[in-house]
Amino acid sequence: MSVAMPGPKAEILARRGEIAKALSRIVPGEGVITDPDGMRPFETDGLTAYRQMPMIVVLPETVEQVQRVLRYCYDNEIRVVPRGSGTSLSGGALPLADGVLLVMSRFNKVLEVDFENRAAVVQPGVTNLAITRAVEHRGFYYAPDPSSQIACSIGGNVAENSGGVHCLKYGLTTNNVLGLEMVLITGEIIRLGGKHLDSEGYDFLGLMTGSEGLLGVVTEVTVRILRSPETARALLLGFPTNEDAGRCVGDIIGAGIIPGGMEMMDSLAIQAAEDFVHAGYPLDVEALLIVELDGPGEEVHELIERVEAIARDNNAANIRVSQSEEERANFWAGRKAAFPAVGRISPDYYCMDGTIPRKALPKVLHRMKEMETEFDLRVANVFHAGDGNLHPLILYDANDSDQLERAEAFGSAILKLCVEVGGVLTGEHGVGVEKRDLMGEMFNEADLAQQERVKCAFDARQLLNPGKVFPELHQCAELSRMHVHKGQLPFPDIPRF
C-alpha cells in the first residue's frame, strides 16, 4: 500500500551526517542509530503495509536528552516522529525519510506506586501490562487493557487513547490518566494534572490523550490504579444470527447493566479462534458474545441471571456460565488470540477500527455481510461490542495487488458506514496515516482548520509527526487567516495529501 507523506527536504537529507553527530553528542553511546540494518526494525509499526526508513533513530534515556534532542530539531527545522513500542495499527509511528525517529523504549521504569492515592507514576516506555504487574501484589490493577498490552507502551496508549475489553465499564485511557509530563518541540517541559482528582484551567490532559504524538513527547505518566473486583464471571452466549447478538448487546446495556467486558465474534472468527486455542467455543452458531460481570459475589450472581434471561429473549442457542477462574480464562483465551488466529487462515488481514452507536450494530453487521459480496473479500468480526467499537478484519493476500486495492476500498466503505450511522472513524487505534484521508467524511473544513490551529499552538513549525491525522498540511500562518470560499482553498501550492 502506498500513502502520500510530506516530501523529504533535500537540505535536511544533505546534512544527515552532521545531524547524526550533533545528536550523538546529546545521546552518547548506542543511543543514535544510522546504519540501515540497525534502523530496519523501526521502518514500520503494527500497520505493516506501510514502510519507510527513518533518517536517524534516537533512543534517549533521560528527560534532559529528550529536551535537548527536540530543541536541536526545532532550531534546525528537523521533523520528529515519536515512537513507543511500535504496535500502532494506524501507522502513527511510521517514520519520515527526513525525520528523526524518537524511540521512548528506554524510559521503562515504574517510578512510584502510591496505594494511598491509588496512583502509579511511570515512565512512558513501561508496557501497559507491567503497570498491573507492579501493583497486583496488593490487589490492584490498571484497567485499560489493549490486546497488545504485553508489548505496547503506556506512552503509546496515552497518544492513541487506547482501549480494551475492560474499557466499557472502567473507561478508556483518557479516563484513567491523572497526570502527564510532556516535552514540547521547543524543549520546554509542561506538567498537566497529577495525583489530585481535578485540574484547574483548560482540560489539557484530555487534549493530550489521543493527540497521536502531534503535540509533544510524553515523558512521564500518572495513572489511576483500581482495586481488583471481588468476583468476576463470564458468560459465553451463542446466537443463530449476528443481528440477534447485536440486539442482545443493546438490550443488556438498555437494562442498566454495565458488564466488565462485552465482546463479540462472528462465525469466521469463532472458527479461527477455536482451531487455534481450543477454547471450547460452539461452532454451530453465527455469533458469540462473551459477557463478563464483576463486582461483589451476590451482585454478580443476580446479574448473571438477568443477562441469561435477556440472551434467551434474543434467541441465544447456547448459554454457558464460567464455574471457575480457569473456565473464565478459557472463555477469554479464544477472544484474546483471535487476531493471530485469523492470521492463520489468511495470508494478510487489514484490521479496521470504527465506532458506532450500539443500536446500529445489527444494521451495520448486516450491511458488512452484503459488502463481502460487493468487494469479493471475507471479513472476520472480533470486537468490543459493548462500546460499539468494531474491528472488522478484512482478509486478503498482499501479493495480489487487486485484492490489496479491494481491501483498502472495503475498509474505507466500512468506516464511511460507521460515520453514516452516527458513529466515528476510530475507536481506539487512532487516525494516523490509515484514516487520515477519511477525516473529511467526519469533519468539515472549519472543524479541521480549528483542530490544526490547536496543533499550531503547540508546534507552530509543524515538526512533530507531520503527515499524520490531518489530510492536508497547512502552514500555521496560513491557518491563522484561512477562509475557505466555496471549497476553494487558498495557497494551492502547499502540499495536500
Ligand X SMILES: Cc1cc2nc3c(=O)[nH]c(=O)nc-3n(C[C@H](O)[C@H](O)[C@H](O)COP(=O)(O)OP(=O)(O)OC[C@H]3O[C@@H](n4cnc5c(N)ncnc54)[C@H](O)[C@@H]3O)c2cc1C
Write out the residues near ligand X by the rule CB under 6 A.
45-46, 81-89, 92-93, 104, 124, 146-148, 152-153, 155-157, 159-160, 162-164, 212-213, 217-218, 339, 428-429, 465
Q: Give the angle 48-54-58 at the CA atoms, nearest 5°.
A: 115
Beta bridge partner(s), residue 119: 114, 224
Nearer to ligand X, 125 or 362 (CB): 125
CA 167 to chain centre: 13
CA 35 to chain centre: 30
d(CA 163, CA 398): 28
Compute the least distance from the CB of residue 414 to ligand X, in Å.
17
Nearer to ligand X, 89 or 307 (CB): 89
Nearer to ligand X, 26 or 464 (CB): 464
Residue 329 identity = A
Compute the least distance from the CB of residue 93 to ligand X, in Å.
4
Give the position of cell 502513527: 92
Exposure string of 357-372, with b = 16+ CB inside 10 Å and e = fewer, is: ebbbbbebbeebeebb
Nearer to ligand X, 157 or 242 (CB): 157
d(CA 385, CA 247): 10
Tell me which residue of 177, 168, 170 sits closest to 211, measured CA to CA: 177
The residue number with the shortest CB distance to ligand X is: 156
Q: Give the angle 418-84-199 at the CA atoms, nearest 5°.
A: 75
Nearer to ligand X, 167 or 270 (CB): 167
Give me the count of residues in the chain. Answer: 497
Compute the least distance from the CB of residue 189 to ligand X, in Å.
13
Nearer to ligand X, 63 or 409 (CB): 63
Compute the least distance from the CB of residue 481 to ligand X, in Å.
29
Do residues 72 and 66 make contact, with C-beta atoms less than 8 angstroms apart?
A: no
Compute the least distance from the CB of residue 50 to ligand X, in Å.
12
Nearer to ligand X, 175 or 241 (CB): 175
Nearer to ligand X, 247 or 429 (CB): 429
**Cβ neighbours, 10 Å, residue 373:** 8
Compute the least distance from the CB of residue 174 to ligand X, in Å.
12
Nearer to ligand X, 247 or 336 (CB): 336
Nearer to ligand X, 93 or 303 (CB): 93
Tell me which residue of 105, 111, 154 sits closest to 129, measured CA to CA: 154
Nearer to ligand X, 132 or 148 (CB): 148
Compute the least distance from the CB of residue 458 to ligand X, in Å.
12
Compute the least distance from the CB of residue 213 to ligand X, in Å.
3
d(CA 204, CA 212): 14
Compute the least distance from the CB of residue 66 to ligand X, in Å.
9
Give the C-alpha distances (Å, rounded to integers) separating 253 from 195, 307, 360, 362: 32, 10, 14, 15
Give the position of cell 482478509: 395
Compute the least distance from the CB of residue 20 to ligand X, in Å.
21
Tell me which residue of 224, 194, 93, 70 sits closest to 153, measured CA to CA: 93
Q: What does the DSSP assignment read for 116-177?
A: TTTEEEE-TTSBHHHHHHHHGGGTEE-----TTTTT-BHHHHHHHT---TTHHHH--HHHHE
Give the C-alpha distances (Å, rounded to integers) separating 459 from 186, 454, 474: 8, 9, 12
Compute the least distance from the CB of residue 209 to ligand X, in Å.
11
Q: What does the DSSP assignment read for 404-439?
A: HHHHHHHHHHHHHHHHHTT-BS-SSS--TTTTGGGH
3 state DSSP class of 333: helix
Do residues 97 and 8 make contact, with C-beta atoms less than 8 angstroms apart?
A: yes
Nearer to ligand X, 162 or 176 (CB): 162
Compute the least distance from the CB of residue 467 to ligand X, in Å.
11
